[in-house]
Chains A and B, each alone.
Chain A
Amino acid sequence: MSKKLPMDEEFATPGNFSYATEYAHDAGQGLSEETVHYISKVKGEPKWLLNFRLRALRIFNAMPIPSWIPVDLSPLQFDKIRYYLAKGQEPKRKWEDVPAEVKATFDRLGVPEHERKFLAGVEAQFDSEMAYANLRQSLAEKGVIFVDSTEGLLRYESVFRPHFGKIVAAADNKFSALNGAVFSGGSFIYIPKGAKLDQPLQAYFRINAERFGQFERTLIVVDEGADVTYLEGCTAPRFESATLHAAVVELIAMPGAKIQYITVQNWSSNVYNLVTKRGMAHELAGIRWIDCNIGSRITMKYPCVILAGSHASGEMVSISVAHHGQYQDTGAKMIHRANHTTSHIVAKSISIQDGVAAYRGMIKVAKAAKNCKNYTRCDAMLLNRGSISKTSPTLDVSGNLSQVQHEATVSRVSDEQVFYLQQRGLGETQAMGLLVNGFLNELMREFPMEYGVELKRLIEMEMERR
């Protein structure tokens, strides 16, 4: 059970977003078939989903931990993790019904008051279930579905089921299998044909229990010619022991559809963030991942776009900041299966102290696919002498009518630059912050303004920790 903290202690340390919570449902520690049965029963799921979960569990148990994972995962004791905790509440519909402690976290996250009411539909995940889900009337009128994954599969099975688990199979990797077995929460979004939203859909996720892994599952289906931007921001309380976050995100962009998926990841530095994100873009569709990783002990995340229809496009904009003790292993995968498909990757990373930022990328062009184009650029900035950057691009191009281009740079903040800025009156930390923000400038523009501001602030906070 959670422990009660006095208010002033709760916010004693910056980045500590913990607050007291009572749990109505708790699957206990460890993972077995019983755990999976318990979760499925509590959630009132149909038989097909229970079977999906049990199959995923068998796959998880059978698969070894991938040998190429660059850090030791042994602090993650799978038998000590709490795989399901929930308050057992129905998602809230009215702002007034949102508990004060939850609102306090919104304040802490810096969601401005005036923006909250404009948020097209806020789904904030507190622990395993939605504590608050509000869908604005205009969205509902357009036929847009924006609910948590459980509600999605229960109420909208005909839309949910044909796509669920199709882009990221349970057997894709050990952690997608784990997610399949125990997932709860995450969003289900459906945008009907031709619908355009004037505002992004947003979700905030958080973890609030020690030794509790969070396994949300997001499925976004955007029908022909429709368009959506989804924003996901993360922040987590500081805990002493390792916490696992193994999410799965599946995107489907039907012909001519556009999906933009924006993530700001700022987990506390003991979180193992092992996420599988993949989208499928059909003819003339476009999927754009914008991903910023600042927090976690290790992040392994390589958002992927399968370019399945001709003239489909995939894009990845990636920012990683690896501080002391952190390993940001990020990248992108672009799989060109159809003619005239294009992909574009820009990745920028910053390594501070002994932080490691690695780019891992894969560009695959199928033999039958002609006239495909990829452009990849990776820029790394090293702040200290012990800072590390790694780049491992994999190109797998069959056929010879395609163009694949990879560029990479590594730069170091020089003493000369820092002195120049000091001479203009900036302290060393401010100087570093300005240089880092300069390095990221062009990518910052890709984030919606309020995120850009928050990001700048987060990065300045990182500099202060130097």
Chain B
Amino acid sequence: MQCALAISDLHLRIAEKAILRGVSLSIPAGQIHVLMGRNGSGKSSLLHAIVGQNSISSGVVTLDGESLLGLPPEVIARKGLFLAFQVPVSLPGVTITQLLRSALQARLEKGKLFDHMRFHDDLEAAMKLMGMDSSWASRHVNDGFSGGERKRCEMLQALVLNPKYVLFDEIDSGLDVDAMVIMVEAIRLLQQRGVGALIVTHHSRWLETLNPNGIHFLVDGIIHRSGGMNLAHAIEADGFQAVQ
């Protein structure tokens, strides 16, 4: 069995338009990969296709050797894929604690009891790491949150739910320098736990501190180039045309 998130020759059409045209990518457990590309190149669509929102036209997505194609989104989520949304929707009246408790209870094996103490400890530890005071636990999910708060809330959920892979859709947009430091720390912690990551970003500068295992450049629905930090440096210096 291969411990990896593997995408092979993925095609996606939405309303007759080819969005993804044969994407292949493999992320071994605990590795961090970065996806870059212009607006409209298909980055978000790829992440959403992996977690089961868009029905894939053809291709293969496997998690640890098991196909995810055609599974309902909640099943894919329970198997260990977490999507940190670019603009997470607000859930008025639903507290962060209620959301996370429900999400964990949905993962509970039949006959097992929910460990409230452990949940409480995990939530507290994650909030501390994310620089959130205790009032956050009873805030309504994303309701009235600033852009930066939404991103931190997504990361908090990833830390508590502890998936196998986290897919971050523009994790860095709207975050100040201090918040970015916290984000990088959280990704590091996840990595230590063996969690892999696929990160969509427009900015290459912060990747220096993240030290990803691979950077992939998406153009018109296909991975045009893959490489290491040198690819990021080239984009940093000369923009996207440097790699196109």
Q: Which residues of A contact B53 (CB under 8 A)?
A: 419, 423
Known: A419-B73, A430-B106, A438-B140. A424 touches B99 (CB 8 A): yes
Q: How far is the CB of A419 from chain B (nearest CB, A)?
A: 6
Q: Which residues of A contact B157 (CB under 8 A)?
A: 424
Q: By the criterion CB–CB under 8 Å, are A424 and B77 in contact? A: yes
Q: By the criterion CB–CB under 8 Å, are B103 and A424 in contact? A: yes
Complex interface residues of chain A between 410 and 427 (CB less than 8 A to chain B): 411, 414, 416-417, 419-427
Q: By the criterion CB–CB under 8 Å, are A442 and B102 in contact? A: no
**Does A441 have its Cβ within 8 Å of any Cβ on chain B?**
yes
Q: Which residues of B contact A76 (CB under 8 A)?
A: none
Q: By the criterion CB–CB under 8 Å, are A422 and B91 in contact? A: no
Q: Which residues of A contact B103 (CB under 8 A)?
A: 424-426
User: Which one, B81-89, B178-186, B204-212, is touching chain A?
Assistant: B81-89
Q: Roughly how many angstroms separate A453 CA and B73 CA in the complex, as a whole number?
A: 29
Q: Roughly how many angstroms separate A411 CA and B106 CA in the complex, as a whole number?
A: 26
**Does A435 have its Cβ within 8 Å of any Cβ on chain B?**
yes
**Does B62 have its Cβ within 8 Å of any Cβ on chain A?**
no
| Size bin of chain A's contact surface | 20 to 34
Q: By the criterion CB–CB under 8 Å, are B106 and A438 in contact? A: no
**Interface residues as binary, B76-112 with A (CB distance below 8 Å gives 1, 0 otherwise):** 0110001101001101111100110011101100000
Q: Which residues of A contact B98 (CB under 8 A)?
A: 434, 437-438
**Does A375 have its Cβ within 8 Å of any Cβ on chain B?**
no
Complex interface residues of chain A between 306 and 343 (CB less than 8 A to chain B): none
Q: Which residues of A contact B74 (CB under 8 A)?
A: 422-423, 425-428
Q: How far is the CB of A326 from chain B (nearest CB, A)?
A: 23
Q: Which residues of A contact B99 (CB under 8 A)?
A: 421, 424, 434
Q: By the criterion CB–CB under 8 Å, are A438 and B93 in contact? A: yes
Q: Which residues of A contact B40 (CB under 8 A)?
A: none
**Does A362 have its Cβ within 8 Å of any Cβ on chain B?**
no
Q: How far is the CB of B10 from chain A (nearest CB, A)?
A: 19
Q: Roughly how many angstroms separate A417 CA and B82 CA in the complex, as a whole number?
A: 16
**Interface residues as binary, B106-129 with A (CB distance below 8 Å gives 1, 0 otherwise):** 110000000000000000000000
Q: How far is the CB of B68 from chain A (nearest CB, A)?
A: 13
Q: Which residues of B contact A417 (CB under 8 A)?
A: 89, 91
**Does A38 have its Cβ within 8 Å of any Cβ on chain B?**
no
Residue on A with the closest CB to B103?
A424
Known: A425-B78, A434-B99, A441-B93. A420 touches B106 (CB 8 A): no
Q: Which of B74, B103, B107, B161 has the largest count of A CB atoms less than 10 A from its CB?
A: B74
| Size bin of chain B's contact surface | 20 to 34
**Does B147 have its Cβ within 8 Å of any Cβ on chain A?**
no
**Does A195 have its Cβ within 8 Å of any Cβ on chain B?**
no
**Does B72 have its Cβ within 8 Å of any Cβ on chain A?**
yes
Q: Which residues of A contact B78 (CB under 8 A)?
A: 425
**Does B156 have its Cβ within 8 Å of any Cβ on chain A?**
no
Known: A422-B72, A425-B74, A442-B93. A430 touches B102 (CB 8 A): yes
Q: Which residues of A contact B95 (CB under 8 A)?
A: 438
Q: How far is the CB of A73 from chain B (nearest CB, A)?
A: 36
Residue on A with the closest CB to B157?
A424
Q: By the criterion CB–CB under 8 Å, are B77 and A438 in contact? A: no
Q: Which of A414, A427, A428 has the largest count of B CB atoms less than 10 A from its CB?
A: A427
Residue on A with the closest CB to B79?
A425
Complex interface residues of chain B between 158 and 184 (CB less than 8 A to chain A): 161
Q: By the criterion CB–CB under 8 Å, are A439 and B89 in contact? A: no
Q: How far is the CB of B126 from chain A (nearest CB, A)?
A: 15
Q: Which residues of A contact B51 (CB under 8 A)?
A: 423
Q: Which residues of B contact A440 (CB under 8 A)?
A: 93
Q: Roughly how many angstroms separate A426 CA and B101 CA in the complex, as a whole number?
A: 11
Q: Which residues of A contact B92 (CB under 8 A)?
A: 411, 438-439
Q: Which residues of A contact B83 (CB under 8 A)?
A: 423
Q: By the criterion CB–CB under 8 Å, are B91 and A420 in contact? A: yes
Among B73, B94, B104, the residue within 8 A (CB) of A435 is B94
**Interface residues as binary, A419-463 with B (CB distance below 8 Å gives 1, 0 otherwise):** 111111111101000110111111000000000000000000000
Q: Which residues of B contact A414 (CB under 8 A)?
A: 89
Q: Which of B51, B98, B106 has the largest count of A CB atoms less than 10 A from its CB?
A: B106
Known: A423-B77, A426-B102, A426-B103. A416 touches B93 (CB 8 A): no
Q: By the criterion CB–CB under 8 Å, are B88 and A420 in contact? A: yes
Known: A438-B91, A439-B93. A424 touches B72 (CB 8 A): no
Complex interface residues of chain B between 42 and 90 (CB less than 8 A to chain A): 51, 53, 72-74, 77-78, 82-83, 85, 88-89
Apart from A435-B93, A437-B93, 11 more pairs, CB < 8 Å? A419-B53, A419-B73, A423-B51, A424-B77, A424-B99, A425-B104, A426-B103, A427-B74, A430-B102, A434-B94, A438-B93
The contact sample of 15 A-B pairs, CB cut-off 8 A, is A411-B92, A420-B91, A423-B53, A423-B74, A423-B85, A424-B99, A425-B103, A427-B72, A428-B74, A430-B102, A434-B98, A435-B91, A435-B93, A437-B94, A438-B94
